[in-house]
Structure 1
């Protein structure tokens, strides 16, 4: 069954899903404490498309559609959806949904969301790519909205599953600071805002009037503990109930710990390297071997990019640095995913071939560079960067690592302040276009592409192929086009994939946790036993 066909099959069962969602849930007057490693930079659900932010805001805000734990579409604020014309999608909205302040949720809120999502000031990587295909919003009645697209666009329901719906009455005139303060954090979600300490803690309380049934937890204390050893200590001491990104070095110990259970699932996140392509001259943090500026950007030379990717020993990264918690990859989706291309192999480790390519490109003696990395965002992020730096140094590219806290790193990356950076991308939609639009698509604020393309990679031919795929109605034909796009991007070394993560959590014994492929850590996925 094809990607869109699988999702379309859900439509007939939407009423059943809605009924089961509203079914009574045991109301336990319990409190849940969560600890994650990634820093939460805002409670504005449209500010930054980053997993820690999305994990937290999903407690306060719902979407028209949502992805389940295995990246399949399910109804949320939209009870059903269909293409009434090739360029018109109609969404029937759920009745009886209330905002946290008691006002009714209507189609006006959907229209306001579509308008606001791509226009958040100072966003380091927002959500414009998910509504870029919407040309016009038509409200038929308070619970029916039609979204018009310039041409056939079968991916619109999938795109909208990444966009939180915000209230018009609370959001008009509101800035990101108003969401962070709680003033505008009025959602329809299962939990309500209580307090937010940037970078450290978010506190929330149960929404007893939630349309999906009364949530399990009376309060949720959502903490940021960036230090992996400190997260492990917190779960072992009982100070928290669940932690994410379990340190690979602690897995053997935690497996033997009677007070803790581990849950895991193959993740959709690839850890990769991205080169700055925004400069042709005077590249940032790249010099000759004497420390003098280079007249041209070596990363704009395909031979240099191929040399660098050939010099990475991905098996060693997965085995030694990640200790078996990741698998080497040469693209951005795991095997078996829709539009994964089996013909795109993991680049072979060939340091001798890499040196020859560098010489052909005019760098027989290599050059010097800085590899920037977060040190508190992804499992073993700084360690991975150090290992890659050693591999590149062996072929003559003297590489120094700059490791930074995520809050600082993400802001600087958005300003193109890194020559080469380590980052991660989770394809929450479970298919290739999510990355093709947002991290590999040419940056264009008007077209709303490349929102997370901090390296400013641009390939017009790839953009055309992506657009062709997104306008193709047939699932199989679209998948074939996306596979071609994956190969084109990897042949051009548009990014340097390293490995695909396995998502692992540690949970206090006696709690049930459903792990998610999109790695989000949510109170809704933890239940009393």
Structure 2
């Protein structure tokens, strides 16, 4: 097995991470003299759209990494590095200035300028029909000032220290191709004109994603002339395709398959720790009766029991996280009680792994008025996260042992996410990668009160709302001094640990498989991009 969690980032490897274009300007004068080659990648989940602003969804971000560029990119350890912006700095408490890379061309040959940045930021909140808007990433921006073609200033409502990190998710699109364009215009490729290392050659959700090399890419031409993505939802089928030589790289290798692949000379296995937290999500949207939660006799409950903190505490105490990691994940995970791994900025060292205590769980259920427990349906995707349905089954068994008779409803992610985002579920299994490497990303998107005007809670499918937590989150966005900001974020982490709007399980270890003769630089965000793959 090749473990690269702490490996050094080489000069060329840096270009092949999330930093699509984060090379010194001189790199553009050294194009890669690559032979004509095709790279085939099998992924577990299909991107739902080629519109990079439609949905804050990792497979969509993964596709956008190829076609578009961002002002600020990230390396494999989630550190911000130059992209379309060569530098950035606050010139006042409420103004960030970004100096743009000269000579960048759109795929159609037109010049990239600061006006495209202004268009992009204005477009994001207007995209219709999104199940998870990107508006939260540009939420603090009140005005975009185009100083000159290569300088842009972003004015914010208050001091906003995390703005460069937030912008690592914002693909810059062109005004000339995007003005008046709909999401379907991006899906049909008409508006999918980027500055990235690849051009979109074909796109059909669920079946076809094909890319061709952008010979004029400002970071230097990639080694792969063509890239083909195959969507193979079943982990075993992806591994079989790799072993058969049908694909070159696969993502989301299951824990069982990882053991077998690591012993097979026909393939390589690459692994790294991630910031992705797998968690159980209680629903807060309904105060009254829920269709998938009943009393011990199967009769409807007049009140949603998940609104009672004692019930949420009981469910947390009923989970043996160490057993989940050891038995279900084959050791590829780290039990956790918060959404950031230990050692990251704003992770709270006082928040430990919740204890496993079935007796205490039963006592809390009795105190909450459920001495005989109740019945519950847990919903889960089958094809989105590593071992997702197996994890849900294991948690269901643990909850059944404390008196909450639990069954599992498993669906493909497309159907699951549509229903979860409409608040049709009481409890579900979910996962989130804190790809900015600090706490505010999760706070503002997953547990902030949904507020479209403030662009907060874009991925808060549970409709949880806590004014005290919102106040801490908002305050964190006003503090430029890192130590003061970290203290506030850690307070918010503690509040979430106490109130349990989510029930954390573990941080996932990420595993990829690839054929010999290739090098892959793993990244903590879990992306699987052609730009991360090199011959040799």
Query: What TM bracket, shorter-length normalisation?
Result: over 0.9
Give the 3-state SS of the residue equivalent to 1:384 in structure 2: helix
> Are 1:338 and 2:345 matched, yes or no?
yes
Is the contact made by 1:90 and 1:145 (CA closer than 8 Å) also made in structure 2? yes
Q: How does 1:254-293 map to 2 (within 5 A)?
A: 254-293=261-300
Which residue of 50, 55, 60 maps to 1:43?
Answer: 50
User: Match of 1:493?
Assistant: 500
* Aligned counterpart, 1:28: 35
Match among 232, 239, 254 for residue 232 of structure 1: 239
Q: Is the 8 A contact 2:188 2:203 kept in 1?
A: yes
Aligned ranges 1:420-431 → 2 under 5 Å: 420-431=427-438
Q: Distance in 2 between matches of 1:115 and 1:385?
A: 40
Name 1:55's counterpart in structure 2. 62
- Separation in 2 of the partners of 1:366 and 1:299? 13
Q: Residues 425 and 16 from structure 1, CA distance in 2 versus in 1: closer, same or farther, beyond 3 angstroms?
A: closer
Contact 1:318 1:326 in 2 (8 A): yes
Alpha-carbon contact 1:107-1:143 (below 8 Å) kept = yes
Cα distance in 2, alignment partners of residues 19 and 118 from structure 1: 36
Q: Does 1:175 align with 2:182?
A: yes
Aligned ranges 1:298-317 → 2 under 5 Å: 298-317=305-324
Q: 2:193 aligned to 178, 186, 211, which one?
A: 186
In 1, Cα distance between the equivalents of 2:28 and 2:388?
38
> 1:130 is paired with a residue of what secondary structure?
helix
2:137 equivalent in structure 1: 130
String of CA shifts for 1:477-527, please: whole Å, max 9, x gaps.
111111111011110011011110111111110101100100000000001
The answer to whether the 8 Å contact 1:40/1:224 transfers is: no
Which residue in 1 is equivalent to 2:16? Answer: none
**Aligned match of 2:12:** none
Distance 2:355 2:298 in 1: 31
* Root mean square deviation, CA, Å: 1.3
Unmatched runs of 5 consecutive residues or more in structure 2: 1-20
TM-score scaled to structure 2, two decimals?
Answer: 0.94
* Post-superposition CA distance 1:26-50 (Å, at most 9, x none): 4231110001112221111111111
Distance in 2 between the 1:253 and 1:389 partners? 28
**C-alpha distance in structure 1 between counterparts of 2:89 and 2:257, whole Å:** 47
Q: Distance in 1 between matches of 2:231 and 2:26?
A: 35
Verify: 1:508 aligned to 2:515, yes or no.
Answer: yes
User: Residue 5 of structure 1 corresponds to which residue in structure 2?
Assistant: none
Range that drifts further, 38-47 or 481-490: 38-47
Q: Distance in 2 between matches of 1:41 and 1:290?
A: 41
CA distance in 1 between counterparts of 2:29 and 2:378 reads 49
Preserved CA contact (<8 Å) 2:70 2:84: yes
Q: 1:99 to 1:371 in 2, by over 3 A?
A: same
Alpha-carbon distance in 1 for matches of 2:23, 2:369: 64
- Residue matched to 2:360: 353
Structure 1 residue 16, shift from structure 2 partner: 7.3
**Aligned twin of 2:14:** none
Structure 2 Cα separation of the partners of residues 31 and 224 of structure 1: 17
1:445-486 deviation per Cα after TM superposition (whole angstroms, max 9, x unaligned): 110010000001111101111111121111111111111110
Deviates most, 400-409 or 289-298? 289-298
Q: How does 1:395-474 map to 2 (within 5 A)?
A: 395-474=402-481
For residue 17 of structure 1, report the CA deviation from its aligned partner. Answer: 3.4
Long gaps (5+) in structure 1: 1-13
SS at match of 2:247: coil
> 1:334 is paired with a residue of what secondary structure?
coil
Distance 1:135 1:284 in 2: 42
Helix, strand or coil: the match of 1:135?
Answer: strand
Residue 17 of structure 1 is matched in structure 2 by 24
Match of residue 3 from structure 1: none
1:171 shift after superposition: 1.2
State the aligned residue count.
516
Q: Secondary structure of the residue that 2:493 maps to in structure 1?
A: helix
- Displacement after TM superposition at 1:339 (Å): 0.9
- The equivalent residue for 2:156 is 149
Note the C-alpha offset of 1:82. Answer: 1.2
Give the CA deviation at 1:18: 3.6
CA distance in 2, matches of 1:217, 1:147: 36
1:92-144: CA deviation from partner (whole Å, max 9, x where unpaired): 11111111111111111111111111221110112111100001111111111
Contact 1:39 1:406 in 2 (8 A): no
Q: What does residue range 469-488 of structure 1 map to in structure 2 within 5 Å?
A: 469-488=476-495
TM-score by length of 1: 0.96
Rounded Cα–Cα distance in structure 2 between residues aligned with 1:329 and 1:25: 43
Q: Is the CA contact (8 Å cut-off) linking 2:23 and 2:219 kept in structure 1?
A: no
